[in-house]
């Protein structure tokens, strides 16, 4: 028994070693003196040496001398000393431990005597010191909380700290977690950078401690919240109801409005009675609006909202506000191929048709006269409130020049104009800017039968013409080119008396003869019977004549009233131009009227 008391006394002494002993010496004493006693089984002890009660008493005293700590556990420690870059800690074991000062960044007021929890990584390192870590202890405590939240399906609070490929890094109580881009919100977030620094609740959807992999989702929480709010909103939301909402997102076609857990669409066409080019002109993200519920489709999860429906209908009493004949001003808001739309006030637009833009100009496209944003003056021509249409006229703001043309240009007036265009039936000549008159092909020459206007005039020529007629209602002016000169048929009989010998050339072959020019654009007709020079009967003028052929002729008849000269061939000169390779064109018998 005396030996037992001595051993226990020594063990107790070793549990509280004297300062002169080193840490290694104290550890060796425990290993060499006490542990063999603890490992001995009672049946191996000599009955004379220790009794069973004495052994149990001794073992209890031994267990009390050692701290019940194991590697990998979180233990409490006391700060003994704070050095330049190290913190010395006492965990109640045989030796102190140290931790780099940078692990205490979250404890700026740390001082000796403070208690902190640390992780016991190893009981001793190569130098016999205890290896501790505050950072790992913090991680283990946080990880345990994260694990419990994951297993119990509880939300955790985190802060978005950094944008990375595919998502965002979230700080969960000091531990990094990954938030995929698809799990940030219910819809795609256009600018993730705006969310950095924001704190939200998240659900942990994946956990791997060995790889320290944590994946979280905010969308899951939002979907749960939306489901709850949706159920509540389904009970209280009704069509035609007026509610408040917050602008959540803006697109090119409208804005999504948060009605309190469920989004509704405010389409661009329901924002204003007036014309707007983009929803951002009317609303901004985060703005609170009072809107009207237009339609609800819970099956498709679609709610249509309206903003303009809370404003007065602009087309009410529009006919009284804009009576026919009223002169108005408006802004050009749209241009089409057929006209321009003019905004008279927000929600009310009128159309200026292309035909109502100018009295005189031939407008090919409205953009030649007006441009977007330009303010113009017009006259109300027609109002249709039911169809929401107003017809406007720009040219009606000016006097119609066609009403004064008959007074300005009486019939017989001689004027000078420029040939602007040629057609198969005549030539258009500009009388004044925007007003053209027509010279018909029959009014181009007194003596020559004109087949095409280009035989007499060319585009761009300046010509003298005479006003033959003005039709103001149909906006037509008839002009005469030949009337600007004296009618040669008044003296044709004097210049070409019967029996006169002349030379001419064939200009056209007709069914019953040929037309020849005998000078000064004067044409005469040679019938088939007068082509019979050789005595043979001629049934087809092409058999004996061709266009351009020179002929010696005698005047047989002059008829100034019917404007006709009849000739006979007296001789065919030897000098002739080359005969055309292609058969000549034979015209109708209208030449008989020459």
| Predicted confidence (pLDDT) per residue in 440-475, tens digit | 998 888 777 788 998 889 999 999 999 999 988 888
Closest Cα to residue 332, out of 356, 349, 347? 349
Per-residue pLDDT, 323: 92
Do 384 and 409 belong together in one domain? no
How many other CB atoms are found less than 10 A from the CB of residue 358? 15
Q: Which of 179-183, 368-372, 487-491, 549-553 has the lowest mean pLDDT?
A: 487-491
Q: What is the mean pLDDT of residues 343-354?
A: 91
Distance in angstroms (rounded) separating the CA atoms of residues 573 and 422: 38
Are both 269 and 358 inside the same structural domain? no
Separation of CA 524 from chain center: 72
Query: In this prediction, what percent of the chain has a pLDDT beyond 90?
Result: 23
Mean pLDDT of 112-134: 73
Cβ(189)–Cβ(163) below 8 Å: no
The Cβ of residue 530 has, within 10 Å, a number of other Cβ atoms equal to: 19
Answer yes or no: are the C-beta atoms of 257 and 247 closer than 8 Å.
yes
User: Would residue 541 count as lying in a domain?
Assistant: yes
- CA 418 to CA 420: how far, in whole Å? 6
Whether 66 has a pLDDT exceeding 70, the answer reads: no
Average pLDDT, rounded, for the chain: 80
- Please give the share of the chain, as a percent, with pLDDT higher than 70: 83
Count the domains in the chain: 6
For 577-588, how does the pLDDT look when each residue is reduced to its tens digit (9 = 90+)?
888 776 666 666
**CB-based burial, 213-249: b 16+ in 10 Å, e otherwise:** ebbbbbbbbbeeebeeebeebeeebeeeeebebebbb
First to last CA, the chain: 168
**CB neighbour class for 377 (10 Å; exposed up to 12, middle 13-18, buried from 19):** middle
549 and 499 in a common domain: yes
> The whole model's pTM is what?
0.45
**Does the pLDDT at position 107 exceed 90?**
no
- Looking at the fold, whether 356 and 444 belong to one and the same domain comes out as no
pLDDT on residue 36: 43
Residue 372 belongs to a domain = yes
Same structural domain, 571 and 502: yes
Task: Tell whether 324 and 303 lie within a shared domain.
Answer: no
Average pLDDT over residues 420-445: 89
Domain boundary among 260, 290, 310: 310
Do the domain assignments include residue 422? yes
In this structure, are 495 and 557 located in the same domain?
yes
Reported as a single tens digit per residue, the pLDDT across 195-247 is: 899 999 999 999 887 777 899 999 998 888 877 877 777 788 888 889 898 99
Average pLDDT over residues 111-118: 81
pLDDT at 31 over 60: no
Tell me: do 513 and 581 sit in the same domain: yes
Of 93, 113, 138, which closes a domain? Answer: 138
pLDDT band, residue 362 (cuts 50/70/90)? confident
Kindly state whether residue 174 falls inside one of the protein's structural domains. no
Task: Say if 406 falls within a structural domain.
Answer: yes
Q: Is residue 494 part of a domain?
A: yes
Does 532 reside within a domain?
A: yes
For residues 562 and 480, state if they share a domain. Answer: no
Residue 593 has pLDDT above 50, yes or no: no
| Residue 357 exposed, middle or buried by CB count within 10 Å (0-12, 13-18, 19+) | buried
The boundaries of the domain holding residue 99 are 74-138
Q: Check residues 338 and 48 and name the one with the higher pLDDT.
A: 338
Torsion of CA 399, 405, 408, 410, to 10 degrees: -160
Q: Do 574 and 498 share a structural domain?
A: yes
Alpha carbons 349 and 337: distance in angstroms, whole number: 17
- Runs of H (alpha helix) within 282-425: 318-321, 405-408
For residue 44, the model assigns a pLDDT of 43
Which of 251, 240, 260 lies closest to 305 in space, CA to CA?
240
pLDDT score for 335? 92
Higher pLDDT, 122 or 379: 379
pLDDT confidence band for 132 (50 / 70 / 90): confident
Same domain, 576 and 500: yes
CB 149 within 8 A of CB 143: no
Distance between CA 35 and CA 29 in Å, rounded?
9
Measured CA distances, 403 to 407, 418, 431, 469, 484 (Å): 8, 22, 15, 14, 25
Closest C-alpha among 202, 233, 232, 207 to residue 220: 202
Can you give the CATH number for the domain in which 90 is found? 2.40.50.140
Q: What is the DSSP-derived secondary structure letter of residue 426? A: E
Q: Which of 382, 397, 412 is the last residue of a domain?
A: 397
Whether 356 maps to a domain, the answer reads: yes
Q: Across 108-117, 459-468, 559-568, which has the greatest mean pLDDT?
A: 459-468
pLDDT of residue 543: 80
> Is there a single domain that holds both residue 98 and residue 126?
yes
- Which tokens hold the place of 64? 């009390």
């Amino acid at each position: 028994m005396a030996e037992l008391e001595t051993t226990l006394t020594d063990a107790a002494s070793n549990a509280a070693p004297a300062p002169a002993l080193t840490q290694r010496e104290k550890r060796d004493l425990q290993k060499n003196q006490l542990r063999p006693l603890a490992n001995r089984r009672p049946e191996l002890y000599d009955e004379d040496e220790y009794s069973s009660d004495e052994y149990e008493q001794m073992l209890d005293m031994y267990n009390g001398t050692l701290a019940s700590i194991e590697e990998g556990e979180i233990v409490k420690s006391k700060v003994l000393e704070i050095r330049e870059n190290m913190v010395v800690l006492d965990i109640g074991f045989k030796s102190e431990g140290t931790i780099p000062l940078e692990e205490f960044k979250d404890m700026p007021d740390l001082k000796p005597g403070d208690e902190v929890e640390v992780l016991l990584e190893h009981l001793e390192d190569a130098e016999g010191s205890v290896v501790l870590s505050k950072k790992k202890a913090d991680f283990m405590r946080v990880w345990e909380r994260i694990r419990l939240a994951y297993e119990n399906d509880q939300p955790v609070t985190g802060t978005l700290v950094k944008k990375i490929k595919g998502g965002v890094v979230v700080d969960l109580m000091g531990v990094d977690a990954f938030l995929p881009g698809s799990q940030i919100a219910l819809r795609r977030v256009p600018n993730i950078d705006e969310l950095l620094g924001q704190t939200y609740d998240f659900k942990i959807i994946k956990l791997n401690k060995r790889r320290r992999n944590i994946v979280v989702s905010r969308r899951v929480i939002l979907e749960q919240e939306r489901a709850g709010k949706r159920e509540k909103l389904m009970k209280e939301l009704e069509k035609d109801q007026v509610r408040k909402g917050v602008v959540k997102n803006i697109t090119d076609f409208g804005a999504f409005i948060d009605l309190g857990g469920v989004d509704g669409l405010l389409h661009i066409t329901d924002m204003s009675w007036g014309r707007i080019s983009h929803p951002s002109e009317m609303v901004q993200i985060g703005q609170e609006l009072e809107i009207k519920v237009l339609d609800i489709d819970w099956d498709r999860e679609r709610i249509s909202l309206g903003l303009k429906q809370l404003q007065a209908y602009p087309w009410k009493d529009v006919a009284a506000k804009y009576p026919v004949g009223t002169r108005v001003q408006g802004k050009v808001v749209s241009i089409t191929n057929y006209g321009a739309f003019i905004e008279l006030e927000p929600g009310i637009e009128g159309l200026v048709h292309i035909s109502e833009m100018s009295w005189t100009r031939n407008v090919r496209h409205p953009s030649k006269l007006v441009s977007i944003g330009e303010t113009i003056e017009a006259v109300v021509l027609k109002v249709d409130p039911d169809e929401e249409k107003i017809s406007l006229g720009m040219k009606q703001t000016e006097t119609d020049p066609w009403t004064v043309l008959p007074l300005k240009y009486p019939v017989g007036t001689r004027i000078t104009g420029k040939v602007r265009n040629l057609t198969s039936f005549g030539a258009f000549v500009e009388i004044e800017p925007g007003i053209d008159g027509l010279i018909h092909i029959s009014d181009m020459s007194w003596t020559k039968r004109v087949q095409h206007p280009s035989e007499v005039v060319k585009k761009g020529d300046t010509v003298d013409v005479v006003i033959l007629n003005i039709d103001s209602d149909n906006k037509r002016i008839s002009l005469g080119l030949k009337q600007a000169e004296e009618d040669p048929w008044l003296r044709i009989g004097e210049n070409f008396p019967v029996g006169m010998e002349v030379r001419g050339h064939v200009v056209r072959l007709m069914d019953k003869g040929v037309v020849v020019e005998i000078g000064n654009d004067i044409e005469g007709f040679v019938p088939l019977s007068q082509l019979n020079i050789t005595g043979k009967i001629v049934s087809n003028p092409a058999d004996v004549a061709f266009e351009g052929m020179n002929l010696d002729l005698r005047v047989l008849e002059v008829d100034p009233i019917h404007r006709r000269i009849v000739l006979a061939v007296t001789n065919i000169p030897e000098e002739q131009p080359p005969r055309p390779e292609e058969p000549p064109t034979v015209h109708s018998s209208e030449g008989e009227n020459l």
